[in-house]
Amino acid sequence: MKAKIHLIAAARPNFMKIAPLYHALIEEPWAQTELVHTGQHYDANMSDAFFRDLGLPQPDIHLGVGSGTHAEQTAAVMVAYEKVLRESQPDMVVVVGDVNSTIACTLAAAKVTYDAKRLAEPGRPKLPMSRPVIAHLEAGLRSFDRTMPEEVNRLATDVLADLLWTPSPDADENLRREGATEDKIVRVGNIMIDSLEMMRKQIEAEAYFVELGVKPKHYGVVTLHRPSNVDNAENLRALCALLQDVSNKIEIVFPVHPRTRKNLEQAGLYDTLRENRAIHLLEPANYVRFMNLVFNCRFVLTDSGGVQEETTYLGVPCFTMRANTERPITVSQGTNQLCNLDNVKARIDAVLGATTSKRQVPDLWDGKTALRVVASIKEHLCA
């Protein structure tokens, strides 16, 4: 009998973290891998396009929860996933990142109780508790800003998880400080880099920027979707004024997240941006197309977590419109700068005037993280 492992995918930034692990696990004769999609993201260009690009099959289980308030969304995933846990009874649940589905599935798995018959099934891994082992991939990241819903999700998930797979030494330290025991913490590196390397040929062969009519290194990429940046109309107005200003010097390519688009339209800002010929407003791009834009751009202006890491790996200057980051290694070793509306324009100007940019890749951001995760799973389930 094989060890049954659930991989939980929910929202756009999860798919790049799940894909390399899925591809590595299905090669293992001892593992039965099931892909669970909670449905937190559901638009074709926020979900299906990523599955296709990353070679993921249709999910084995789809919870179809959709959008809602934080409590509604988290609760809907918990209710739906609890049923699945009872029926499917996996040996391990792997959650990734910090979205609402991450904490929801963790909570459901932490409280489910398998019956004695299931626990005694011959050939099944011996579980340390009468529930699945919970493993968190990308554990230990902290922004120390509890106004961010993701920080709440990270803290609560890490308290409950049995295995904490971390991307960097700062994450190990955060977990130790919070009382996690050494046996739980395993530094595996950054799984996003596995996806990037897995897809490098396709990313390089893609010519999305050519289709848009911009030239390599002659445009900046913008991604903004955090509530702190886009939910307040005044702030959004100031960000749009910044983009108009920057577009006088360099063209801007801006794939617009659904949350951002809705808010831009409500504030009457979408059409104004669209009238500017130096600003290319796009639908959210799939993984290969988006990375093709990042590979070839002069800089990225963002509030995304994953993009801070991808730009560090590639040596692309990154301006993060946030007061803090849960990924400080991208600032201390990488190309990331935390910015605000007062200083970002001068910093962009400085990069536009510079001829070189640095590239220092953090330890274990090497495209082999999935293999280290598989080894860790094997050690825990097959010992």
Residues contributing to the site for ligand UD1 (CB under 6 A): 11-13, 40-43, 46, 67, 98-100, 149-150, 225, 257-259, 262
Which is nearer to ligand UD1, 6 or 12 (by Cβ)? 12
Asked if 112 and 86 touch (Cβ cutoff 8 Å), the reply is: yes
Which is nearer to ligand UD1, 150 or 310 (by Cβ)? 150
Catalytic sites, residue numbers: 225
User: Minimum distance from CB of 278 to ligand UD1 (Å)?
Assistant: 26
Which is nearer to ligand UD1, 14 or 89 (by Cβ)? 14
User: Minimum distance from CB of 101 to ligand UD1 (Å)?
Assistant: 7
User: Minimum distance from CB of 365 to ligand UD1 (Å)?
Assistant: 20
Which is nearer to ligand UD1, 65 or 186 (by Cβ)? 65
User: Minimum distance from CB of 110 to ligand UD1 (Å)?
Assistant: 19
Which is nearer to ligand UD1, 149 or 169 (by Cβ)? 149
Q: How far apart are CA 33 and CA 23, in angstroms?
A: 10
Tell me the residue type at 236. L
Which is nearer to ligand UD1, 225 or 298 (by Cβ)? 225
The first and second tokens of residue 304, run together, are 């995304």
Q: Name the maximum alpha-carbon separation found in the chain.
A: 69
